[in-house]
């Protein structure tokens, strides 16, 4: 081979190496690390977390968005602060301000994604005919059906509400799904009972019940209308600007969230329910995806 041929071969080899490096770099930049989102198991959290997973994986090319469920709200805050989880999307403020105060220097609080009015209190079926906590002892209710133990209202009921009102009812701890199954059974049998209730949630459409007034203020600020928002690890915006921009752009109003939960309940599969809802509501989800894509391109 003459000198010109060797020179041409060397140039082609160099060009091949450069193009290979550029291709590898582009592939690396499009490769997404695993994202971990905390999940307390409440229906609005199941809905929003699965919707986030579906859109990040299906529309934005994430390899895996893993949902990590625990029944401790405090553990979720701690997990986001340490980086074990990247985000938790079911923060109720000011109700969970104690948990936020423990980690506020390690997490970032995004704006509220829920565009509606929340409610949160002890409730009873409307057929019991009462409207206030101080009327409970005059009913046939023997129990207050509750949810996971490490939740603000589950601490307030035994520590403050029961002694303040001298209630004779016993608080029963359970998973949210376990409580809802028991509510469904007792409601159908028209039994007298109390339970922990909140809105937004599909229970407000399925059952006719009263959120009980708290004239002595034993529940404190738990009965105030809350903002439902997302916390992310303090490094998420820098480490994963696409996921950060997506969660920052996401918003749902009460009707949209109720429809999402209903679709999930209808299919009996949170992931497939969220996927169907997203495909049936492109006008709602497209702005979130577009915000994420802009963050990827910047």
Domain boundary (172, 203, 223) is at 223
Mark whether 128 and 202 lie in a shared domain.
yes
DSSP 169: P
Mark whether 38 and 98 lie in a shared domain.
yes
Mark whether 211 and 153 lie in a shared domain.
yes
Residue showing tokens 């589950």: 154
DSSP 17-69: HHHHHHHHHHHHHHPPPPEEEEE---HHHHHHHHHHHHHHHHTT--S-EEEEE
- pTM (2 d.p.): 0.79
| CA gap 41, 71 in Å, rounded | 7
Q: Is position 27 within any domain?
A: no
DSSP 215-239: TT-TTGGGGS--EEEEEEETTHHHH
Domain of residue 207, residue span:
119-223
DSSP 127: G
Q: Is position 26 within any domain?
A: no
Mark whether 43 and 173 lie in a shared domain.
no
Domain boundary (223, 240, 263) is at 223
The domain that holds 128 is classified in CATH as 3.40.190.100
Q: Is position 140 within any domain?
A: yes
Q: What is the pLDDT of residue 33?
A: 64
Q: Is position 6 within any domain?
A: no
Mark whether 267 and 286 lie in a shared domain.
yes
Mark whether 59 and 86 lie in a shared domain.
yes
Measured between its terminal Cα atoms, the distance across the chain in Å is 48
| pLDDT tens for the 298 residues of the chain, in order | 554 555 545 444 444 444 444 444 443 344 456 799 999 999 999 999 999 999 999 999 999 999 999 989 999 999 999 999 999 999 999 989 999 999 999 999 999 999 999 999 999 999 999 999 999 999 999 999 999 887 889 999 999 999 999 999 999 999 999 999 999 999 999 999 999 999 999 999 899 999 999 999 999 989 989 999 999 999 999 999 999 999 999 999 999 999 999 999 999 999 999 999 999 999 999 999 999 999 998 6
Are the CB atoms for 24 and 228 separated by under 8 Å? no
| CA gap 267, 275 in Å, rounded | 11
Q: Is position 230 within any domain?
A: yes
Q: What is the pLDDT of residue 43?
A: 93
Number of H helices and E strands in the chain, helices first, is 13, 12
Q: Is position 214 within any domain?
A: yes
Q: Is position 28 within any domain?
A: no
Q: What is the pLDDT of residue 19?
A: 46
Q: What is the pLDDT of residue 298?
A: 65
Tally of domains within the chain = 2
Q: What is the pLDDT of residue 38?
A: 97
Mark whether 208 and 231 lie in a shared domain.
no
Mark whether 129 and 215 lie in a shared domain.
yes
Token representation of residue 6: 């060797």
Q: What is the pLDDT of residue 276?
A: 98
Are the CB atoms for 64 and 33 separated by under 8 Å? no
């Amino acid at each position: 081979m003459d000198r010109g041929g060797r020179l041409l071969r060397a140039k082609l080899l160099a060009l091949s190496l450069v193009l290979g490096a550029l291709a590898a770099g582009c592939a690396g930049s499009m490769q997404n690390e695993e994202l971990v989102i905390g999940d307390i198991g409440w229906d609005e959290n199941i809905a929003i977390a699965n919707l986030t997973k579906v859109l990040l994986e299906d529309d934005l090319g994430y390899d895996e968005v893993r949902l990590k469920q625990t029944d401790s709200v405090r553990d979720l805050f701690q997990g986001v602060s340490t980086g074990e989880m990247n985000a938790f999307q079911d923060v109720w403020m000011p109700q969970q301000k104690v948990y936020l105060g423990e980690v506020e220097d390690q997490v970032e609080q995004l704006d509220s994604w829920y565009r509606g009015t929340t409610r949160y209190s002890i409730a009873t079926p409307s057929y019991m005919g009462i409207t206030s906590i101080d009327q409970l002892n005059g009913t046939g209710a023997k129990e207050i059906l509750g949810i996971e133990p490490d939740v603000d209202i589950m601490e307030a009921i035994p520590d403050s509400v029961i002694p303040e009102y001298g209630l004779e009812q016993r608080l029963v701890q359970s998973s949210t799904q376990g409580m809802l199954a028991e509510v469904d059974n007792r409601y159908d049998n028209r039994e007298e009972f109390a339970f922990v209730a909140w809105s937004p949630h599909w229970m407000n459409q399925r059952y006719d019940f009263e959120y009980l007034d708290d004239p002595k203020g034993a529940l404190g600020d738990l009965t105030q209308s809350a903002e439902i928002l997302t916390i992310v690890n303090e490094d998420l915006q820098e480490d994963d600007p696409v996921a950060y921009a997506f969660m920052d752009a996401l918003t749902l109003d009460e009707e949209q969230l109720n429809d999402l939960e209903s679709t999930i309940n209808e299919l009996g599969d949170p992931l497939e329910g969220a996927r169907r809802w997203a495909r049936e509501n492109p006008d709602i989800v497209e702005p979130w995806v577009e915000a994420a894509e802009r963050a990827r391109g910047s």
